[in-house]
Chain A
Amino acid sequence: MKTNKEIATYALDALKKSGAEHAQCLVSSGKVDEFNVDSGEFSLMRTLFNSSITMKALLNGKKGVITVNKLDKESIDNAVCDCISAADSSVVDEAEAIAPKEENEDFISGVITPDKNKLFDRIQEFMDDVKNEYPKIVLEQSVSKYSNTESVFMNTNGVNYNYTRGHYDISSTFLARDGEKSSSFNGYGVLLDSLDRKIIDVGMLRTLLEESQNQIDTVPYAGKFVGKVIITPACLMDIVLTALGLFTSDSTIIDGTSPWKSMLGKQVASDKLSISKKPLDPQIVCGERFTGEGFKSANMDIIKDGILENFTLSNYASRKTGFPRALNSSYNLFVKPGEISLNELTKSCDRGILLNRFSGGQPSTNGDFSGVAKNSFLIENGKITNALSETMISGNLIDLLNSIIGVSSDTICDGYSVLPYILFDGVTVSGK
């Protein structure tokens, strides 16, 4: 067995011979070259030779799933026995199934031949740019890597997808320091399919570096008010994914605790809000081409003009509840931009905060949230004023999504998502 397809074919055959009525298999292999910068200096170069196989077997309506990272015959034979044994011990569930056959397809995405020296040079250039243009910034840690992967998905219904992809992945954690004073740390990550641009010019990096330098001196907010909050693209991803996880995902739809369980096709948010997941959009780097369950991925709307169009359910949860399955399982979020600039959005905010990072407890299923406003600024009379510390915000996610005042026309693309700034109302801000 030399190729991933030969390995997947062997594993499926072995699962069937061991009694599985239905089985699926995902085999992946690849290589990662990674450069690490710690405290502003190169520290490590890392090379990983990766491999993995995940197999799922259905035995008398019962499921077992095994993942191992060795692809030799003995390891796969052992994993097949383990998978069948796990399924045999499980509970019958008629919602378990494997994907039906669609037209098989091979996919290729991103950059397949990396340029290791150029990556090193771009990182060096990034470190120099930061030092020259943002002298108070300390790059606490920067991890830059090139990854390539070939994945083969096959199942016993005849589904067979092959996906070859490669991308650069740059993530950086930084803070600003001036003598004994320092800002909170902040972090940012991007996916790239070329090294044509300087790293410092990608996504929100320049904005966040500039803002960190302005966050060395902070003011704790004194008192409490209910006001507005501009959530930046760097923070919006977390907020939207949290809301979708609580209100539209498998667990809360299956157990019926989602407040949106009967809201499909109904208004759940302001009509200014439209959210989609689009792994096939050309702005997304190496987006998902097939789901972990073996369905070909397609772009999908979740909320359109405030109306809940789809839950984000797996095929299992779909069969369990009768609601449609999600057309992809990616995190490639798009929020539709509005028609006014960020500058105008800020001017329209009489009293509130610009929220760059939210450090909070896991919100409740009913949507209640509270946490600390990190890397954030006070907005007074339409102007950004003091950087904040020791300032908490709280509210309810459902109320928040229904209290949108405006969405910016500016959007930020980081390779994972394309998101605007959104001005929300009705958030409680409290300090010491």
Chain B
Amino acid sequence: MIQDRVSPFKSLLKEHTELRAQVNTNRAVTMLNGNIVSNLRSEESGVSARMYKGGVYGFASGAEYSDENIRKVILAAEENANFMDSRIKKNKPMLPTVGTGKKELLKDVRDIEQKQLINFAKEIDEYISKTYSDLASRTIAIRCDSMEKLLTVSDGFDSHSLLPRSFVYIFLTANAKDGTPVELYKPFGGFGYFDEVFEKPESLHADIDSIYTDLMKKAEGVYCDAGYKDVVMHPDLAGILAHEAVGHTAEADLVLGGSVAVHNLGKPVASQLVTMVDFAHTALGEQAPLPIYVDDEGTPAEDAVLIKDGILTGYMNNRESAQHFGMKPQGNARAYLFSDEPLIRMRNTAILPGKDKLEDMIASIDDGYYLTKTNNGQADTTGEFMFGVCMGYEIKNGKLGRAIRDTTISGVAFEMLKTVDMLSDDMLWTCSGMCGKKQPMPVGMGGPAIKCKVSIGGR
């Protein structure tokens, strides 16, 4: 656990200044066909300071965690802020206040031995190799990361926070009849240390069986017919839709940069069925996948409602953008490493569930697709988005048909969301991904099954 060396410097922090000590850990084990090709532990730690002066920031960081180095980074941040202020002269006012207080650590800081991860991977690998000898390749990747932060600010909430995540990724490859490789993967896990998330390897056997079954169907699958189609997106895709296609366009820094959301505040951007929220720490009565209580500017975190009944109602802000737009900062300023400055980031972004049943949604389509797994996604500030789809099925006359090969779907978010006419009454959260925006960042995302129209790639 990080020893508190930063709070004694609180009285020295000028203007608006954040002083943050942080430790990020990564533990990785990868087994490829029984070979351990990666057996890695890494740790990055240190202290940083960021000072706001007249509309510009100065930032500095260093790895050494000593009183002498803390003084050095505070001074370097101040020098940088002064340099920028003297050259730019924006003369902007101080940032808005957010109250004061302190949030204590809610979870013990721990570590997991590499041996435990390797043994887990070995047992999973043994199960797959014995059970499914017809596979062309198998990979088990275990990834555990954690982010502990100790924050002291000149004005705002101090906090001590911890975000541990643990995941097991299973990648299986089979050869199709024509000899070409076909692959499928799925991540398992979520918030917590490895032994809190995974009880024993056997608990994943049923899920591995399910991946294998899907893979074999995919190996005999067909290419999609490219075009504009009716689809049902599994909740796995709803989360990435919420995050990539809508969430990024509603980040206030991208709004200032010219995203599509700039001219749509208060206007209908989706079907009235759609409500979308960036949850801070509690979602629908339960802990959100990655709970954030205080952000890295010392702002207490609260939910940001982005779309309410189809109307774009708000943006996600840091203190500076909130002041610009006349909105309340809600705790979206997050930094990845100790050496990173806080950026406007999502936390746990979800489309809320509706009232429909999945089977009714599929039954309502004559000719379309049921898309069940995604492997990546990107979106534009115009709202044009793309997701890779690595598993799915044809829908013919309201019934599931043949499996499909890898494809890509695309659309323009605020147009596509207006085609949503059914939402399932359940939802699924994931937090295995890293959002990329100058810095990586763990984020949670979720949603129900969605029936809509999108463009689909094919042959």
Question: Residues of A at under 8 Å CB distance from B?
Answer: 38-39, 41-52, 63-72, 82-83, 85-91, 93, 95, 120, 138, 140-141, 143, 173, 175, 177, 180, 182-185, 224, 250-251, 254-257, 259, 316, 320, 359-366, 368, 370-372, 374, 389-390, 392-394, 428, 430-432
Contact = CB atoms under 8 A, between A and B. Distances in A.
Contacts, number: 255
A177 B262 CA distance: 12
A175 B258 contact: yes
Nearest to A250: B37
B216 to A, nearest CB: 16
B61 A49 contact: yes
B455 A138 contact: no
Interface in B62-77: 62-64, 76-77
B97 interface: no
8 contacts: A66-B42, A69-B43, A86-B39, A89-B114, A361-B408, A362-B388, A370-B457, A389-B384
A380 B386 CA distance: 26
B33 A255 contact: yes
Contacts of B90: 41
Given A68-B43, A89-B118, A138-B258, A361 B386 contact: yes
Contact of A175 (B40, B45, B381): B381
A41 B57 CA distance: 12
B113 A364 contact: no
Contacts of B341: 44, 46
B53 to A, nearest CB: 11
B37 A39 contact: no
Contact of A66 (B41, B57, B263, B405): B41
B222 interface: no
Interface stretch (B79-87, B189-197, B351-359): B79-87
A390 B410 contact: yes
Contacts of B407: 361, 370, 394
A90 B256 contact: no
A394 B459 contact: yes
A46 B335 CA distance: 14
B256 A39 contact: yes
B408 A430 contact: no
Given A185-B381, A370-B458, A89 B33 contact: no
Interface string B387-417: 1111000000000000001111011100000
Interface residues of B, number: 86
A390 B61 CA distance: 43
A32 to B, nearest CB: 9
Nearest to A124: B87
Contact of A38 (B33, B180, B257, B406): B257
Interface string B27-58: 00000111111111111111000000000111
Nearest to A33: B80
Contact of B389 (A184, A250, A361): A361
Interface in B348-391: 374-376, 378, 380-382, 384, 386-390
Contact of A51 (B39, B58, B63): B63
Interface of B: 32-46, 56-64, 76-77, 80-81, 83-84, 87-88, 90, 113-115, 118-119, 122, 136-137, 139, 173, 180-183, 226-228, 253-254, 256-260, 263, 339, 341, 374-376, 378, 380-382, 384, 386-390, 405-408, 410-412, 438, 455-459
A140 B80 contact: no
Nearest to B458: A394
A184 B381 CA distance: 6
The 10 closest A-B pairs by CB, nearest first: A361-B388, A370-B457, A140-B257, A89-B115, A255-B137, A67-B42, A366-B180, A45-B80, A430-B226, A370-B408
Contacts of A39: 253, 256-257
Contact of B258 (A51, A68, A140): A140
A128 to B, nearest CB: 14
A43 B113 CA distance: 42
Give the one of B40, B46, B122, B257 with max A CB within 10 A: B257
Given A138-B257, A428-B226, 17 more contacts: A38-B253, A39-B253, A42-B88, A44-B56, A67-B41, A70-B45, A91-B36, A182-B259, A182-B381, A182-B382, A224-B227, A255-B33, A255-B137, A257-B137, A361-B386, A394-B407, A430-B227
A432 B87 contact: no
B35 A140 contact: no
Contacts of A224: 226-227
A91 B457 contact: no
Given A90-B118, A430-B457, A48 B61 contact: yes
Give the one of B35, B62, B63, B406 with max A CB within 10 A: B63
A254 B257 contact: no
Contacts of B173: 255, 257, 365
Contacts of A364: 181-183, 405-406
Given A254-B33, A364-B182, A43 B380 contact: no
B406 A180 contact: no
Nearest to B83: A45
A224 B183 CA distance: 28
Contacts of A69: 43-46, 63
B108 to A, nearest CB: 20
Contacts of A47: 59-61, 76-77, 80
Nearest to A218: B382
B455 A430 contact: yes
Contact of A45 (B58, B115, B136, B390): B58
Contacts of A88: 115
Contacts of A68: 42-44
B251 to A, nearest CB: 11
Contacts of A370: 226, 406-408, 457-458
A371 B388 CA distance: 8
Contacts of B260: 182
A38 B339 CA distance: 19
B378 A359 contact: yes
Contacts of A46: 58-60, 80, 341
Contacts of B80: 45-47
Contacts of A138: 257-258
B254 A140 contact: yes
Nearest to B381: A185
Given A257-B136, A361-B387, A44 B46 contact: no
B56 A45 contact: yes
A230 B46 CA distance: 47
B39 A44 contact: no
B35 A45 contact: no
B388 A254 contact: no
A368 B33 contact: no
Nearest to A396: B459
B184 to A, nearest CB: 10
Nearest to A83: B41
Contact of B39 (A65, A184, A320, A365): A65
B402 to A, nearest CB: 17
A90 B386 contact: no
B226 A392 contact: yes
A125 B110 CA distance: 50
Contact of B375 (A87, A185, A362, A374): A362
B36 A85 contact: no
Given A120-B87, A364-B405, A251 B32 contact: yes
B46 to A, nearest CB: 7
Contacts of B257: 38-39, 138, 140-141, 173, 175, 185
Contacts of B61: 47-49
Contacts of B77: 47
A179 to B, nearest CB: 9
Contacts of B180: 259, 366
A141 B248 CA distance: 14
